[in-house]
Structure 1
Amino acid sequence: MTTIATTKDAMAAARTRMEKAVEDFRKELATLRTGRANAAILDAIRVDYHGTPMPVNQLGTVTVPEATLLVIAPWDPSVVPLIDKAIRASDLGLNPTNDGKVVRVPMPAPTEERRKELVKHLHKILENHRTAVRNIRRDIKEAIDKLEKEKKISQDEQKRALEEMEKFTHTETKKIEDLSAAKEKEILEIR
């Protein structure tokens, strides 16, 4: 963590770290499976290519030709069975097919039970990111308190900085909760 010498530094550090937490939450949401095809769902899958774990999107082109189908066209056709195997081994519950040139991944509509599991998982991710934002707030609060204790800032300045920090924390937490609510609605939506 960078050295915090003023309340301005503290707020800048808080802003940067909290915005990263929100962005990370967005990325994790993209990997959650709904009934709709989304190339980001494959981001977490790694394929063992010549002894190196590689993301699927670095081995070929991933396209979404229709709402319930992903097509992966690898640049090296010898990797097709490896991609197929990696997708089957993942916990996404997908059943890809391949013709030796491309891998097709149909996206079945999740069952009611699977939807509930996904929502439960979504809530776990949400809570982890809420906790991350609260931890950032705690760290920055401690830094501001330390500045006041060392007489580098006044008590009034400390109070103003902590109030600004609270407002920003609420704003970022609200962003995460809104994203979560939208994703939950998408998951529970039956097409």
Structure 2
Amino acid sequence: MKDPIVKKTEEKMKKSVNSIDEELKKLRTGRPSPALLEEIKVDYYGVPTPINQVATVNVTEERSLIIKPWEKNLLNAVEKAIQASDLGLNPMNDGNVIRLVFPTPTTEQRQKWVKKAKDIVEHGKIAVRNIRREILKELKDLKKNGEISEDDERRLEKEIQNLTDKYVEELDKLFERKEKEIMEF
């Protein structure tokens, strides 16, 4: 059975890694993904609403997304929201759907995206290490208060270090996968 401290540490580290994974999914690569539009809000009767809650977003062909609002009167609002975003895409409105065509990215753009992915992953590693530091401080306090023995402290420190190594390695794998995805032609 796992120690509650180790379990708590693992849960926190897992949340950090999952958060970084979600952030990486939103990072633009050469291919379109509906996740890119998750942060874009449309004015839906005065309420800022994510595009995926007012429209169907589908990937078509190799380099385009089709956005079909559930209400036709939202076409212009969706189009304006996309234009106002930092995606740098020009939506094409044909009266029924909005088509987003993703141009083939240059090598320079791809390198920028890889750098951004690396920064995101580095923040994740920092978060994991901060969790380790926080838990190790808790362990020292528990030992100081006589709640755990020195042997238990060492054993738990080792387990926590192993967890840290595991999740840092997982973050490295996430980066490698994202880098490969970005650099694909």
TM-score band, normalised by the shorter chain? over 0.9
Match of 1:145, SS?
helix
Cα RMSD of the aligned pairs, angstroms, is 1.3
Counterpart residue number, 2:58: 63
| Unaligned stretches of 5+ residues in structure 2 | none
Q: Percent of counterpart pairs with the same letter? A: 42
Give the structure-1-normalised TM-score: 0.91
TM-aligned CA deviation for residue 14 of structure 1: 0.9
Report if aligned partners of 1:34, 1:187 keep a CA contact under 8 Å in 2: yes
Of the three residues 105, 109, 122, the one matched with 1:110 is 105
Counterpart residue number, 1:98: 93
Matched, 1:169 2:169: no
Of the three residues 39, 44, 52, the one matched with 1:49 is 44
Counterpart residue number, 1:29: 24
Give the structure-2-normalised TM-score: 0.94
- Aligned mates of 1:98, 1:35 — CA distance in 2: 22
Counterpart residue number, 2:153: 158
Bigger drift between 162-171 and 66-75 goes to: 66-75
Report if aligned partners of 1:147, 1:153 keep a CA contact under 8 Å in 2: yes
Report if aligned partners of 1:64, 1:71 keep a CA contact under 8 Å in 2: yes
Match of 1:122, SS?
helix
- Aligned mates of 2:45, 2:132 — CA distance in 1: 43
Amino acid at match of 1:165: I
Deviations 1:129-162 (A, max 9, x none): 1111111111111111111111111000000001
| Count of equivalent residues | 184
- Aligned mates of 2:161, 2:145 — CA distance in 1: 22
| Unaligned stretches of 5+ residues in structure 1 | 1-6
Of the three residues 139, 143, 146, the one matched with 1:144 is 139
Report if aligned partners of 1:62, 1:73 keep a CA contact under 8 Å in 2: yes
